[in-house]
A and B are shown apart, each in its own frame.
Chain A
């Protein structure tokens, strides 16, 4: 089973921050792939097997909603868990993301613990002294 993660965000700063969180949290991912929009993300998924996709909504070229729709319509990709990391707070938008297959929603600015707690179960990481969970459950559907 792959333990790689794909980060899809047009902000290189956010991608770097997400990578740092994963590193500090000791999630032991195999590889971290990056994409700055949905088109690049689909290309990455065509070339690499990943366990989780962390994706923003507001991106140029192909936004997160369009990307999720494409993933949902692809038999090879529709099983991959998707974590939304976005600044948007609309309940309707969150429901829409859930319908498109997202399993967790983290609102920016997020605390490192929120991202870690969302990724741990998806990567099969069990809580231990080095990855103490502080999740309240609010970030999961």
Chain B
């Protein structure tokens, strides 16, 4: 069941990434982390008949790549503000899709306002602590999604 939810999460993540930003997941597993590239954590949740939280961890360079694809600008032209906004909106959409995939369309859920902050350390990309975690490689960037149902 847990693996099934992690797979659903990974599928939604990949589909939103492709539909929204024309970015695609890689087959290779990139487990090495560039320590000079700061990691960011974007959080969002949903509240309703059931509750859940989503965390998206990625590097600053990934958020800039995301912003550049969304805005149609060069990656080095995307500001930190634009990159943060892109990451938050991306998670807003992923969360909305996840809610209906997990819980259907009958009940109303309120999404929290996404928040982003810099991580103090690089994440553990082999996370397995009972949450529904999925680490994926996207265009040579490792990114991680963690889903925590809090029913």
Please choose the segment from A14-22, A25-33, A41-49, A123-131 that sits at the chain B interface, where 4 or more of its residues have CB less than 8 A away.
Answer: A14-22
Q: How far is the CB of A134 from chain B (nearest CB, A)?
A: 15
Chain A residues positioned under 8 Å from B88 (CB to CB):
11
Cα distance A14–B108 in the bound complex, in angstroms: 23
The reply on B119 being an interface residue by CB < 8 A is: no
Residue of B nearest to A16 (CB): B71
- Min CB distance A132 to B, Å, is 21
The stretch of B27-35, B95-103, B129-137 that contacts the partner chain? B95-103
Number of CB contacts from chain A to chain B under 8 A: 67
Docked pose: A60 CA to B107 CA in angstroms: 22
Pick the contact of A87 from B67, B70, B93 — CB < 8 Å?
B93
Say whether, besides A87-B95, A89-B97, A11 and B106 are in contact (CB < 8 Å).
Answer: no
Q: Are A87 and B82 in contact (CB under 8 A)?
A: no
Interface string of B7-49 (1 = CB under 8 A from A): 0000000001001100000000000000000000000000000
Nearest chain A CB to B69's CB is how many angstroms away? Answer: 10
Nearest chain B residue, comparing its CB with the CB of A58? B111
| Cα A3 to Cα B115 with chains together (Å) | 35
Chain A residues lying within 8 Å of B19, measured Cβ to Cβ, are 109, 111
Interface size of B by Cβ–Cβ distance < 8 Å?
28
Residues in A neighbouring B106, C-beta threshold 8 A: 90-92
Which residues of A lie under 8 Å from residue B110 when comparing CB positions? 58
User: In the complex, A59 Cα to B88 Cα: how many Å?
Assistant: 12
A window 60-94: CB within 8 A of B: 60, 86-93
Is B105 close to A, CB under 8 A? yes
Give every chain A residue within 8 A of B117 (Cβ-Cβ). Answer: none
Residues of A within 8 A of B144 (CB): none
Chain B residues within an 8 Å CB radius of A11 = 85, 88-89, 92
User: B86 near A: Cβ within 8 Å?
Assistant: yes
Q: How far is the CA of A16 from the CA of B107 in the complex (A)?
A: 31
CB pair A90 B109 closer than 8 Å = yes
Q: Are A109 and B16 in contact (CB under 8 A)?
A: yes
Which chain A positions have C-beta within 8 A of B97?
87, 89
Chain A hits for B72, CB < 8 A: 20
- B127 contacts the other chain (Cβ, under 8 Å)? no
Which residue, A58, A60, A93, has most C-beta atoms of chain B within 10 A?
A58
Counting from the closest, the 5 A-B pairs by CB-CB distance are: A87-B96, A109-B20, A89-B100, A11-B89, A109-B19
**Besides the contacts A86-B96, A87-B92, A87-B97, what 6 more A-B pairs have beta carbons closer than 8 Å?**
A11-B92, A16-B71, A58-B110, A59-B113, A89-B99, A90-B106
Instruction: Give 8 A-B contacts (CB < 8 Å), ordered by A residue.
Output: A10-B113, A13-B89, A58-B113, A89-B96, A90-B107, A90-B108, A90-B109, A109-B16
